[in-house]
Structures are given as structure tokens and as C-alpha cells.
Structure 1
Amino acid sequence: MDAQIGIEAITDKKGRARFVDVGREFAARLEHSVPQLRSEQLELVDPAKNPFFGHARAQLYIAHINGKPVGRISAHIDELALEMPPEQGFGPGTGMFGYLDADSEEIAAKLIDTAQDWLREQGMTRIVGPISMSIWEEPGLLVRGQDHPPIIMMGHHPAHYAQWVENAGFERVKTLYTYDLDITAEFSPLLQRVVKSGERNARITVRPVRKKEWDTEAATILEILNDAWSDNWGFVPLTADEVAYTGVKLKPIIHEDLNMIAEVDGKPVAFMLTFPDVNHVLSKINGKLMPFGWFHMLRWLRKPKGSDMRVPLMGVLREYQNSRMASQLAFMMITAIKKVATGKYGSTRGELGWILEDNQGMVAISDAIESEVNREYTIYAKSL
């Protein structure tokens, strides 16, 4: 490439807006991409609004050629991730990159070098990514599954980005899967017996969440999550501020009968969240609420008829995870949600994930319900 690549460090609100818009322009070029709400994307990179920045710092960059934006990247450090055991993926000296977009491999390499230089200046000795920007947001680079639209809160990237990242010296450290499920199909007789056995157990209650008590319910769910996922690769605990923030953000898409909490002897021990795929309506309004997109969004939120469903999160307290009851609770919650999704909302398809490749319990559950991997994301790492 003859033209010189310039790298701009973003330092203000206007710059963050341009950073988001560069990403939106790249997404618009990609087949099957779904435009997200710009206001939500702006909030994610705003230190004044996203509580992630209460324990993290970041530097955003935009690449230019002759004044034209041709790429972007983030470099960021999560202080809580630095405190995690290295065997769980992060640990001392580990910084991250995310939001990678580029017109060419040369531009991508320049952006990655710039992110690495910033992390070195901050004292980091290792880089992991892409993670945009928290592990709880959009981790991983899509390496398989570009042939169909992503579901709610999942990233969508060109297939060639993987080779560019690998050519920059990165190696794969973890694969994340999403699983596709025909929710109109009956479960096997064995699973049906497992569920019926649980339903006869007087100690077990599987109930919908209570939206009128959503703040309390969200805190309960995220308390279980922090315990259930604490030994998983890539785990970083959610803070109280993040719990509150997440609860507010999720509330508009929460339908009580699609989200379950399982109790044993009256104590909440497991949960399963299910979100109707808002991408269905975002694709119709082109990611814009104004002037009339808000009307379509509100109507869809009231009853997302025919929507695909995503199970982004589930968890069982660690004290139950090695017991037969753990899988029983999962199958009971899946069965209850599946019945409502098909009967009340007319849904035919569900998606589970992301799921770590070595999360044996969740992989076994996904296999047992005869779901199939439909997307694969890779997280890479490199020494600095």
C-alpha cells in the first residue's frame, strides 16, 4: 500500500462517536450483518455511562488514509481481569484488544501494533482478544457461521479477519460455540422422564422471574452467575454497579415466562435467561429508532411473535454442579421455556451460547437436547 496509514488516538466524545460510526460502516458492508442501536453502541465505549470503566481503562484508535477512516481498534485493561488466576485466561500483565475493523491486512497489522504498544506502555506483557470490550459483551472473533445473521448480542465478523490476526503472531487460546435448536421438536423419552422426575420432587421449584421485583431478581440471578461461572475460563466477576446497570438494560426485553429461576428447598440455586431476538426488528428499522423505528420496537417488545430465542446465560450454584440435580434443573428450565416460546410466542428456533469448548456440562446438555453448533468464535493471545 503506497498511501501512508495514520493512526488517531481517540480522546473525547466526538472521537468516540466517530469510532462507533466507523464500526457501523464496516458492519453495513458485511453480508448478514444486523445494524445495532447507535445509542447503545455509544454507551458501551463511554466511560461516564458504562460501569465497566469503573475497573477498566481503554484507548480507542481510528486508522486513516488521506483523511478517510479505514479501520479501528480498542486496547483496554480490566483491573479485575488482572486479579484472576492466569490458568483462567487472564491474570497479571494481561491486556486486551477489541473492536477490530480494517480495510486491509496491512491496516489491521498497523492497528494491532498500535494497540500492543499502548498495552506495553501500561506495563502489560500479554494481549488477549478480540474482546469488545468486556468478556460479558462480545468476546471472540467469528470464524465460522458468517452465512447467516447473528442473534442478539453476538458479534459478526468477516472470515478473513482470523487469518490477519494469526499472521500478526496470535495463537488460538479458546473457542466459543453457539448451538442451534429446533424448539418444536420433542425431547427424547429419557429427557422427558428426567424432567417429570424433577417435577415430582417436592424440593424443586422452577418458576418464572418476577418483573415487578426485577431489581431483586436481577441481583439474585447475577449472584448465582458470579458463583456458577467463577471457575470458568475468562471469568471476571460482575460488580454491584454492573449488576444494576445490566438489570436496567435487560428489563425491556425480559418476558417473565421466558426466564426461569430454579429453587431447591426455597433457595434460588439456578437460572436460565432467554431473550427474544431483537435483531429481527433492528434489521427492519436499520438500527434507528427515529423517526418511526421506536414504534416498531415498542410493538415488538410487547409480544415478539415468531421471534427466534437466545439463551445467553444460565448457571447453577457450584455446590450442585457435580450432582445429577444440576442437569435435571437445566432440562426442567429448558422444557418450561421451550413450551412457552412455541406455544405463546410462536417461535420455532432457539440458540444457546456462547458456550466454552471445554465446558463439559453445557456441551453435554447441548448434545442431549440435540442442538447443533452453528457459530464458532475464537479468542487469541500473544506475548508482548
Structure 2
Amino acid sequence: MRLIEVATKEQKKEFLEFPKRHYKKDPNWICPLDAEINGIFNPQVNKKFQHGEAIRWLLVDENSKTIGRIAAFYDKHIVNHFKFPTGGCGFFECIDNQAAAETLFDAARKWLIDKGMQAMQGPINFGENYNHWGLLVEGFIPQSYSMTYNFPYYQQLFENYGFKNYFEQLSYNKDLYSGWPDRLVKFSEYIAGRPNYSFEHLKYNKLDTYVKYFVDLYNTIWAGFHDNYMPLEEDEIRTMLLEAKTILDEELLWFVFDDGKPVGFLGVWPDINQVLAKLKNGKLNLFNKLKLLYFKRRAVNRIRVFVGGVHHDYQNKGVAGALFVQLIETAKKKKHLKFLDLSWVGDYNKKMNSLYKLSGAQLDRKHITYLKLFDDNLPFERFTNEFEGKLYDYKKKKD
């Protein structure tokens, strides 16, 4: 076996093509867009490169046939959010061979040690944690957009190497038209009906205003809630929303206000994996762009809740439930939509798990974010959020 650092145009292409061959006979795997994966490793696109590095490898056998791939990376703004300086590995694919997997893991570990790391999470993204994050261990069915899929044997490859369960990512599915608990609906309607509360969905003709609402809320709500938190910037969210305009429905991204002050939001996007499954090859050429637009309403019957939150001063007051009811009532008016995908929520987030279960949603998938300590004598602790009781001063950390 031989490791090859990805550097040339041909090697970058092979990094994309290997999974397409690897999963060719598995109907549950949906090919992500090549442009999306390339963007993650492009310093001109991914702002993580402003304060971090990434590297990729291919693993080939004695016949120069690709049998695996992996990426390693670190973000200087995040590494010290952990008890020990921590980087990440991700985009792992490998044949069912422990020696091959360990060759890939060793490459990532040694590179991260050289960069001063003492641990690595995996498999994760060199970016936000709602994309390409975690190892699928339960629910080997077609995943929603940007949720990872892998063969079941991957779990043993990771755990045999010494990766430990850092936290679990739980994903739920809900039929939009099945019964919603009366208690939840009535209380949410009561909250929504109070005169100080108002609700608005995203409007592209006022994009800058809603981008500011989103970023301010996100950076207030999520600071200190998880290790991988980094404050968002308005430019990156504005760019993301503009690039996704053809597939997003502005009526499915909601904000709640208290006397005109934004206090919560809920971000939902159509599950375009239902379209990408028809494109099959990850290419977004003109023909596939036309297919994407054609199937947007004809093939997509599921929406994914990918991000949301309520200001700390308004938690446990029914505001989150009111946001959900607002979303559901709007979604049900769009007759092509049938299902709500709630992915993902950490096992440490007891409040959201309780809300999802109360709604009648069914837990149908589980991913794991693993942590590998490079020194076996270091104490391992699962992430529970119990030691994150105080908000980070994210501006101070950014500096």
C-alpha cells in the first residue's frame, strides 16, 4: 500500500471519483456535488484556510488502484476549545481492510501531531458541523442533504483504531400530516398569539437585514454550546444564501421577534438529495442544472431542519415550539412536501430531543462523532455540554 498526497489535478479528480466506484452497488448512497467537495478544500472558497490548514491523501494498492482516501485539517480558532489541542479528519473512505484504514488514520494523526495537536475528531468537516459530519452507525437508508452515508463496517475500522464515542448525532423523521400533539399545538398557538411576538420568513429583497438577524442570533445562541463553535460572519451567510437561491424557499426560513427584536430562528432547506440521487454523478453541468430545477418540486417531498435556535432569555418559554408550528403550517400549504427531516441534534441537547419526541417524530438515524486521543494516558471524556455552562466571549477568542 502507498499513500499519495493529493496535489495534482488528476489526484483531486480521483479524490472525488473513488467514492463513486466504492458505492456503485449501494443504492442508498447519494453522490454529493463535486463542486461542493472541491470548495471545502479550496482556500479561495473556504474561509477556514484563513486560520487553518488541510491536507488530503489517496491510498493505493500494489497495482496503483485506489483503495481509500482521507483528509486532515485544523482550525487555530477552534483547537483550544477542547481540553487538548484537537484537529480533525474526515472525508474518509476505505475498503473493508483494517490495515488500509490504519494507514490512512496514521497519516492524519502524524500530520496533526506535527501541527501541535494532541487529538483528532472524526469523521468531520473542515467547515460547519451541519454538513458532512459524523459516522453513520444506525439507519443505513438514503440520507438527507449533506448528511454522511457510509458502509456499516466503517464503525469497526474507527473503533478498532482507538476512536471513542465523543457524542452521538440523532436524526428524526416526521410526517407533516400525521397528528401533532394537541398540547404542543395549543401552547404554541397561545405563545404565537401574544401581542409582543411576531413571525417573519426570510425575504430576499431584504436579504442583508435577515442575514444580520441570523448571524447575531447564531453567534449569541451557539457560543459556548459546542466545541467546534466559531462565530459566523455576515459575508459567508449572505454568499451561501445567494448561491442557494435557486433551491431554497424563503417561506421556510423563519424568525421570531419580541417587540421587534429577533429572539429566535429556524432554518430549513429542501432535501435536494432527492434530486441529486437522480443526477447520480455529482456533476453540475448545464444539463444537470436543468434537471435540478425540473425535479425541485417534482421529486422533493422532504425538508431538512438544518439549524435553529432561541435566545437564552427566551428558552423554556414555548418560543421554539411556536417557531415549529409556524414552519409546519407553512410547509403543509405546499402540497408537494410530505416529510420533515430533523437532523441532526446531539445526544447532549436534552431539550431539543424532548421537543422532537413530543412532536411525534421518529428517531431513524444515528451518527457518531469520534475522538481519538494521541496519548492513551490522557483522560477521555464524552462531550456532555455540562462543562460549557458559560458563554464564550467569541470576539475575544477570535482575536
Q: Same fold (TM over 0.5)?
A: yes
| Aligned position for 1:159 | 152
- Partner in structure 2 of residue 242 of structure 1: 236
Distance in 2 separating the partners of 1:204 and 1:13: 53
Matched, 1:285 2:275: no
Paired residues of 1:276 and 1:304 also in contact (CA < 8 A): no
Please tell me whether the aligned partners of residues 274 and 299 of structure 2 are also in contact (alpha carbons under 8 angstroms).
no
1:298 matched to 2:293? The reply is yes
Which residue is equivalent to 1:100?
A: 92
Cα root mean square deviation, aligned = 1.9
Shift in alpha-carbon separation, 1:54–1:24, aligned structure 2, 3 A: farther
Residue matched to 2:54: 58
- 1:202-242 CA-to-partner distances (Å, cap 9, x unmatched) read 01011111121223313321321222122323332144253
Does the 8 A contact of 1:178 with 1:352 survive in 2?
yes
Task: From 45, 49, 52, give the equivalent of 2:45.
Answer: 49
* 1:123 aligned onto 2:116: yes
SS in 2 for 1:202: coil
Match of 2:168 in 1: 175
What is aligned with 1:341? 331
Indicate the residue corresponding to 1:112 in structure 2. 105
Q: Give the Cα separation in 2 of the matches to 1:243 and 1:349.
A: 26
CA offset digits 1:89-126 (Å, max 9, x no partner): xx552111111111122211110011111111111111
Match of 1:75 among 66, 72, 75: 72
Q: Report how far residue 254 of structure 1 moved.
A: 2.1
The normalised TM-score by structure 1 is 0.90
Alignment match, 1:307: 301
SS in structure 2 of the partner of residue 253 of structure 1: coil
Gaps of 5+ in 1: none
Change (3 A) 1:29 1:122: farther
| Equivalent residue letter for 1:352 | L
Give the C-alpha shift of residue 189 in structure 1: 1.6
Q: 8 Å contact 1:152–1:279 — kept in the other structure?
A: yes
| Equivalent-residue separation in structure 1 for 2:226 and 2:9 (angstroms) | 34
The equivalent residue for 2:352 is 362
Amino acid at match of 2:326: A
How far, CA to CA, are the matches of 1:362 and 1:247 in structure 2?
A: 25
Match of 1:149 in 2: 142
Is 1:372–2:335 an aligned residue pair?
no
Contact 2:275 2:300 in 1 (8 A): no
Secondary structure (helix, strand or coil) at the match of 1:292 reads helix
Q: Distance in 2 between matches of 1:74 and 1:204?
A: 46
Please report how far the alpha carbon of residue 29 of structure 1 lies from its aligned counterpart in structure 2 after TM superposition.
4.1
The letter of the residue matching 1:63 is L
Q: Which piece of structure 1 moves more, 50-59 or 231-240?
A: 231-240
In structure 1, C-alpha distance between the alignment counterparts of 2:258 and 2:298, rounded to whole Å: 31
Work out whether 1:40 is the aligned partner of 2:32: no
Inter-partner Cα distance in structure 2 for 1:306 and 1:166: 36
TM norm structure 2: 0.87
Residue of structure 2 equivalent to 1:224? 217
CA–CA distance in structure 2, aligned partners of residues 379 and 203 of structure 1:
40
Contact 1:306 1:348 in 2 (8 A): no
Number of residue-to-residue matches in the alignment: 369
- Classify 1:83/1:120 alpha carbon distance in 2 versus 1 (closer, same or farther; 3 Å): closer
Per the alignment, in what secondary structure is the counterpart of residue 246 of structure 2? helix
Residue 75 to residue 333, structure 1, CA distance change in 2 (3 Å): same
2:18 to 19, 22, 27: 22
1:173, distance to aligned residue in structure 2 (A): 1.0
The answer to whether the 8 A contact 1:128-1:379 is kept is: yes
Which stretch of structure 1 is more off in the superposition, 308-317 or 279-288? 279-288
CA contact (8 A) 1:211 1:256 kept: yes
The CA distance in 2 between the partners of 1:304 and 1:230, in whole Å, is 39
User: Secondary structure of 1:28's match?
Assistant: coil
Q: CA deviation at 1:349?
A: 1.1
Percent identity between the aligned chains? Answer: 24
